[in-house]
Chain A
Amino acid sequence: MANKKEKDPKIDALLKQVLQDDPPPETERKMKLQFIRFKKNIERARRAPERTSKALGQSLFQARSWDWLSWAVRKEVLAFSSMIMIAVGGFLHVSGHPNAMAETLSFVNTSFSISNQLREVQSMECSLQFTSEEGLHLHGTIRWLSPEIMRADVYEGDRASKSLWIEGSEILVADLVNHTNQKYHSLEQIEDPVFTPLMEFLSPENLGVAIYKKWEPRHYREQDKGRNGTYVYQIEGGKATLEMTVDENTHLPLSIKKFSLPPQGAAEAQTPTLEAQFLWNNLNE
């Protein structure tokens, strides 16, 4: 490379013109190299495009600016990538890649099924064990006697202490200990905290809404099949974790266990704050 540069005739002539006497060969060689470098720098600066923001912006829309990416669009690379993509996509799908959409569809379908079934139910008996807001462990029963009539009892020990009747649009709360009655026109008016955990079970509509929305289900997965023709749903909600056992023939819930969310850093709570066992008239037929 250096030899080639040293034979530049223009530089030779220029040197001879400038230097009347012959300099030492080593000095002449070094001077030539300096001149060649100088000339190259001037030419490069002349050829280089103007580096303004406008020129840079325009270059973004020119195909040659993206030539450095040409390796990525080579046919071999693209063919290989496309095959890999199809194979990975197919494999992920077939191997049951977890997907929120599929979980949602599955859960919404199950909710629809339960909701539809609840509408068909004529009567039901449900026994509940729950912890009241004061921290008392109570138990109660809820009976849907007909689509219009419902009764809920809360027990302290073996004796029913409070009772709630719904007949059409009339709601009656009876305190069986103090022998007092109170009438209401809507469930929202009832202020007695003892009935709060029971509200979601008082009608098929309430139960349907609670399963789908009120318990704020965010993650749900169907567990392995349970015993005696049932399947179990694990529902991680915003307020609580639920475990719902559903009858696979009737699509009605057989039991619901509600666990309060453990405080951050604490181990998972194992004792349910509410446990409901259902007995549907449809199942007895």
Chain B
Amino acid sequence: MTPKRNTKSLFHVLGGIAMLAVLIAAAVLSGRFAKFLDLYGLAFVVIGGIALILTSYNLREIAAALRSAGRAKRSDSEGHKYLIFWESASRNFWMVGVLATFMSFVIALTNSETIQGIAIGMASSLIPSAYGMILSVICLVPWLKLKETRSSNLPEEISGENEKTQERSASSFSFENMVGYVLIMAIILWTLIKAELSSHSPILPIWKCVVYWPALLFILGGTIALVLFVGSSAKGRIWTLGFAVTGLIGSFLGIIQALLGISWRHIQGVAAAVTFILSSCFFSLLGMMLVAAPLEDRSIKDSKKARHSTLSRAAWYVFPIVTLILLVITFIIVVTPVRK
């Protein structure tokens, strides 16, 4: 790449960022989007997304991938690595957004001052998901550009390479990976502590709501059993599927129990079922983010051909959507009186 072209592409990137910043500033200053502004939610999604990237990649790889975004149109022998990186980043922001929504939802449920406050808080808790979605789409832009370049240059190279994923073992755990884990755990814990401190009289400690032991045991046991049954436990692909499938089974069992509770007009049964659904989704999401995704990333990032498996992709994008739908259902159940 010539210096002139390099400068041009740098201006392209900076111009794009400036335009985006102006648009965001205009939206914020207009005051019409105040209801869609959640600074803490945005910080959670950004920091959480970066932390998750760190759990899979080291700083050298991240810096190289960021540089690749500015010159995505150039054919690059390392392009495949960057393709995997941007796909991981997109997935991470999306999943962190849904996690932030989940936590805001539970905080609203336990910390609101009034009944109306609960309803408003629950509805507003969906905002971080929107942030996650936007950041996810932003990360998909370099991915799409790289993919376009690669498909035109290497039409047959990356087809049918899922099997290659299975033959590789995860690369070693680095210092950056540990920092990533510490960062994501810190932001999750800080959110819980902040919620606890900010409320003068919470109707109950939030951590009591998040940790429901039966759901945790079910998800953990189910996932380990599935991984053992399929074998190949060193690959994140199986863990991703394990967490997603177990989470879906747990949610489905919860839905059945909730429907029976509604039929029998037994609010305690409905509440227990909803708790099981929420906790199943929470622990599955956390397992996919902290265990499965980094394992799969680390197992394929050094490969020149392997890519994320289709089933994992489906799990990463579909499971959070299921979680969001279940949160909305929970909201409806909570605000709908169940007559005795």
Binding site for B on A (CB under 8 A): 61-63, 75, 78-79, 81-90, 92-93, 96-97, 99-113, 115-117, 208-209, 212-213, 216-218, 222, 231, 238, 248-249, 251
Known contacts A105-B274, A112-B334; A231 and B340 CB within 8 A of each other: yes
Task: Supply 17 A–B pairs (Cβ within 8 Å), ascending by A.
Answer: A63-B172, A79-B225, A79-B228, A82-B220, A82-B228, A86-B218, A89-B221, A104-B110, A105-B330, A106-B267, A112-B115, A116-B337, A209-B114, A212-B115, A218-B204, A222-B267, A248-B339
CB pair B208–A110 under 8 Å, yes or no, is no
- Dominant SS among interface residues on chain B: helix
CB pair A61–B225 under 8 Å, yes or no, is no
CB pair A61–B268 under 8 Å, yes or no, is no
CB pair A109–B208 under 8 Å, yes or no, is no
Closest to A246 in B: B340
A160 to B201: give the CA distance in the assembly, Å: 37
Min CB–CB distance A218 → chain B (angstroms) = 6
Residue numbers in A under 8 Å from B270 (CB-CB): 105-106, 109
Min CB–CB distance A74 → chain B (angstroms) = 11
Closest to B110 in A: A104
Min CB–CB distance A149 → chain B (angstroms) = 24
Of B128-136, B209-217, B306-314, the stretch lying at the interface with chain A is B209-217
Q: Taking the complex as formed, is B271 at the interface, i.e. its CB lies under 8 A from any CB of chain A?
A: yes
Known contacts A78-B228, A108-B109; A89 and B214 CB within 8 A of each other: yes
CB pair B335–A112 under 8 Å, yes or no, is yes
B209-248 contact mask (Cβ, 8 Å, vs A): 1 or 0: 1101111111011101100100000000000000000000
Q: Which of B218, B221, B272 contacts A102 (CB 8 A)?
A: B272
A222 to B272: give the CA distance in the assembly, Å: 14
CB pair B214–A86 under 8 Å, yes or no, is no
Q: Taking the complex as formed, is B118 at the interface, i.e. its CB lies under 8 A from any CB of chain A?
A: yes
Q: Taking the complex as formed, is B113 at the interface, i.e. its CB lies under 8 A from any CB of chain A?
A: yes
Other than A61-B173, A113-B337, give 17 A-B pairs with Cβ distance below 8 A.
Answer: A61-B172, A62-B172, A75-B228, A89-B218, A101-B210, A101-B275, A101-B279, A104-B109, A104-B203, A105-B271, A108-B334, A110-B267, A112-B337, A116-B337, A231-B340, A238-B201, A248-B340
B155-185 contact mask (Cβ, 8 Å, vs A): 1 or 0: 0000000000000000011110000000000
CB pair B337–A251 under 8 Å, yes or no, is yes
Residue numbers in A under 8 Å from B214 (CB-CB): 88-90, 92-93, 97
A249 to B340: give the CA distance in the assembly, Å: 6
Q: Which of A83, A93, A109, A209 contacts B276 (CB 8 A)?
A: A93
Chain B interface size, as a band, is 35 or more
Q: Taking the complex as formed, is B333 at the interface, i.e. its CB lies under 8 A from any CB of chain A?
A: yes
Q: Which of B225, B274, B337 contacts A83 (CB 8 A)?
A: B225
Q: Taking the complex as formed, is B20 at the interface, i.e. its CB lies under 8 A from any CB of chain A?
A: no
Known contacts A61-B174, A108-B334, A248-B340; A101 and B268 CB within 8 A of each other: no
Q: Which of A82, A108, A208, A222 contacts B222 (CB 8 A)?
A: A82
Residue numbers in A under 8 Å from B221 (CB-CB): 81-87, 89
Which B264-313 residues have a C-beta within 8 angstroms of A? 267-268, 270-272, 274-276, 278-279
CB pair A89–B209 under 8 Å, yes or no, is no
A7 to B48: give the CA distance in the assembly, Å: 65
Residue numbers in A under 8 Å from B276 (CB-CB): 93
**Most-contacted residue by chain A among B173, B209, B217, B228 (CB, 10 A):** B217
Residue numbers in B under 8 Å from A84 (CB-CB): 221
Min CB–CB distance B215 → chain A (angstroms) = 7
Residue numbers in A under 8 Å from B334 (CB-CB): 105, 108-109, 112
Known contacts A89-B221, A105-B274, A105-B275; A100 and B337 CB within 8 A of each other: no
Known contacts A108-B109, A112-B337; A82 and B225 CB within 8 A of each other: yes
CB pair A100–B204 under 8 Å, yes or no, is yes
CB pair B220–A85 under 8 Å, yes or no, is yes
Known contacts A101-B212, A109-B337, A249-B339; A213 and B271 CB within 8 A of each other: no
Q: Which 4 residue pairs are nearest across A and B when measured between Cβ atoms?
A: A85-B221, A89-B217, A113-B337, A248-B340
Q: Taking the complex as formed, is B338 at the interface, i.e. its CB lies under 8 A from any CB of chain A?
A: yes
Residue numbers in B under 8 Å from A101 (CB-CB): 106, 208-210, 212, 271, 275, 278-279
Q: Taking the complex as formed, is B70 at the interface, i.e. its CB lies under 8 A from any CB of chain A?
A: no
CB pair B217–A102 under 8 Å, yes or no, is no
Closest to B335 in A: A112
CB pair A85–B217 under 8 Å, yes or no, is yes
Min CB–CB distance B269 → chain A (angstroms) = 9
CB pair B271–A109 under 8 Å, yes or no, is yes
CB pair A212–B213 under 8 Å, yes or no, is no
Min CB–CB distance A85 → chain B (angstroms) = 3
CB pair B109–A78 under 8 Å, yes or no, is no
Closest to B278 in A: A101
Q: Which of A86, A92, A93, A106 contacts B225 (CB 8 A)?
A: A86
